[in-house]
Structure formats: C-alpha cells, structure tokens
Chains A and B, each alone.
Chain A
Amino acid sequence: MAIPMATATPTDSASRVWSMSSLRSALPSATTCRMPSSTSRRPVTIRLPVSSPSPLLLPSFSGLSPVNPLISTGLPDWKSFENGFKIIDGGGRVYAMRHGRRVPKLNRPPDQRKALLRGLTTQLLKHGRIKTTRARASAMRKFVDKMITLAKDGSLHKRRQALGYIYEKQIVHALFAEVPDRYGERNGGYTRIIRTLPRRGDNAPMAYIELV
C-alpha cells in the first residue's frame, strides 16, 4: 500500500520543482517515500506519488518494454512534476482528530484485524455464544449479521462469498441449512451483547455475544 505523503500543496510550478528536488534528496532509492507532515494547521491534501524504479534497474528495463509514461526515466523529467508523472490523488483528507471515523481498529494492522474478525465470527457461528472483550464484540456484530444475511439469500454465489470469509466450510453449510428457518422473519439484529465482569489479568471489559 502506498504510504501517502503529505505536502503543502503549492500552486505554482516553481514550488513544485522545489518540492521534487527536496524529495530526491530525501530518498535513498526512489521508491515510495514519506515526508514528515508539515506543521500547517489547515487540512493538507494527500498526494500519492507513483513510485519509479531506481535508476540502477532502468537500463535493463527500458530496452525491453515500451517506456511507461508513469515511469520517470531519470533524465530532465526529474526537475518538473508534469512530464510523465501522473498524480494519483485518492481525494482523502487527513485531520489531526478522529472525528467521524467509525471503523474500529482493535489495535491491529488491517490484515490482522480482518483475520481476528473472521476468526471471531467463525467461532460465534460455531458455538452460538462466546465471551470476548467489549470492543471486539461490538466490532464483530456487523460481520456476523453480514454472514447471516448471506445465508438468508441462499444462492450459490452468496454461499461462495461466505466460504471465502468463514474459516470452516462445515459451518457455512450448516448455516445455509438452518438460517432461513431460524431467522426467516427477523429483520436484522441477529446478535445480542451482554456485558459482564472485567477480565482478571488486565481488567479488560468483557462481554458475551450470542446469536439471538
């Protein structure tokens, strides 16, 4: 994943040239870079620069393949932004505060977070009720409901989508067999969270989450 680089966006090309050269000095090899965020208070636009291969690799590259307009060839193009360098801007804004961000991060990087939630929903669907921390329980509600909604639909495509998420395929087949009868009339809200006593080792607030 490209690490976004925050720069104060200048409006004239002269400043752009300046920012590129400072970029070059910061980079040992011209891969994706991170510049320390500026101290300006106003929201800064994220620029996602396209990474260009290091000059050492280029001679072997460019002879074989047509020159990619996105790849800077290390010639006068370095000086100016425009020549062949497309700016891919996700349009994201970064704020100093967390206002409006609703995705629970669970103190984990995204891949671990996804794996944790997959494991938790698998276990809940397997056992019917599990005890975990409150943050994890409230984070997994969305995904348990999603799995039950897939099972309510029941088509092959949805079954395969569920198989891609849940770790044990027996559980998916049992889910698709049971859910239409069990939750046919219920619209949403297939789980219930009951808060319990904190955990002894670290005083973490715990909760039971169970299928309604």
Chain B
Amino acid sequence: MATSIDPLVLGRVIGDVVDMFIPTATMSVYFGPKHITNGCPIKPSTAVNPPRVNISGNSNELYTLVMTDPDAPSPSEPNMREWVHWIVVDIPGGTNPSQGKEIVPYMDPRPPMGIHRYIFVLFRQNSPVGMMVQPPTSRANFSTRMFAGYLHLGLPVATVYFNAQKEPASRRH
C-alpha cells in the first residue's frame, strides 16, 4: 500500500454518516482505561457508562458531540440507520461533555446482530444552541447530516469510531 487510506474512509464512516471534512479539532475518547482509535474493537460491557471525552480548543468555543450507530439493526440490513446513542450540545472547548447540555441521554451499545460501528462526531457551534433544539422523537432513523443542517453546524471537526459486536452469552466451544 503506497499511501495510507484515511481509516474513516476505509471504515465507510465518511460516506455513511458524515461527508469528507478536514479535522480541525482533536478529541480523545476513553472508555475506562481504553483509548478509542478508529476501528478498535470494544466490548459492550466496557461501554456501559458514558466515555470520558477530552475536546481541544479554547473555552469560548462551543462544541456539539453526537454518537450514532449507522449499522442498526445489522450491518448488512441497516433498516434503522442511524441509531443515535448520545447528543450533547454547548460543550465549552477544552472540557468534556459533562459541561454541556445533554439532549439525548447516553445509551450503551447493544448490537443485536453483526459488527456495528459506533461513531463519535464533533461539530463546532457558531452560537449557543440552548433551548433551540428539540430532542428527536425516536432514536432510530436519525440522520447526522440533517441534524447538523438543522443546527447550522456545517462539517464536523473531529470524528472517531469503534466496532462492537454482541458478546456471546455462553462460550459453546
């Protein structure tokens, strides 16, 4: 392989959920001791609680974080693409989502079938959002692009994703 393919393109994150963008902020996501890199496998049991997210930037900027699953209910038949797990708005730069306003409460990954991608998308806000946004009526059939358009967020500034699959209930073999 001569050139390195962007792992987001390789994992089809760019295309399925977001459009091609230039990352301008950095975001590091930790589930307990585990640092999330693109495409790393995470067990659902370690993702029960919301992760620790560190967002770069200065504190007068506000950010929005969205966590979605485009492979609901199964990657080969994503009828409910996307399933939104977490939306936090008005996060001041340089802090973590606990300082922001949680529109959609965190739901842990429960992939019923297949290997799902769980994507964290970070947007930079132009203005405080506050009361303007309504939480979506259902978590299914969410569209990150439309949500960003609705809040005039533009292209994302950072994205990371991980893979998870259902842990087998009992090891048969």
Contact = CB atoms under 8 A, between A and B. Distances in A.
Contacts of A182: 74, 76, 113
A186 B22 CA distance: 46
Chain A's interface size range is: 10 to 19
A173 interface: yes
Interface in A41-60: none
A154 interface: yes
A87 B168 CA distance: 53
A20 interface: no
Interface in B60-102: 74-76
A128 B78 CA distance: 14
A181 B166 CA distance: 11
Interface string A144-182: 000000000111100000000000000001100110011
Contacts of B168: 154
Q: Could you tell me the dominant secondary structure of chain A's interface residues?
A: helix
A146 B76 CA distance: 20
Nearest to A128: B76
B173 A177 contact: no
Nearest to A178: B114
B76 A181 contact: no
Contacts of A177: 113-115, 165-166
A3 B72 CA distance: 55
A178 B113 contact: yes
A178 B76 contact: yes
Contact of B173 (A128, A155, A174, A178): A155
A174 B117 CA distance: 12
A143 B77 CA distance: 23
Contacts of A128: 76
A128 B76 CA distance: 8
Contact of B74 (A153, A156, A173, A181): A181
A153 B114 contact: no
A154 B166 CA distance: 13
Interface in B152-168: 165-166, 168
24 contacts: A128-B76, A153-B173, A154-B168, A154-B172, A154-B173, A155-B172, A155-B173, A156-B173, A174-B76, A174-B114, A174-B115, A177-B113, A177-B114, A177-B115, A177-B165, A177-B166, A178-B75, A178-B76, A178-B114, A178-B115, A181-B112, A181-B113, A181-B114, A182-B113
Given A177-B113, A181-B112, 4 more contacts: A174-B76, A174-B115, A178-B74, A182-B113
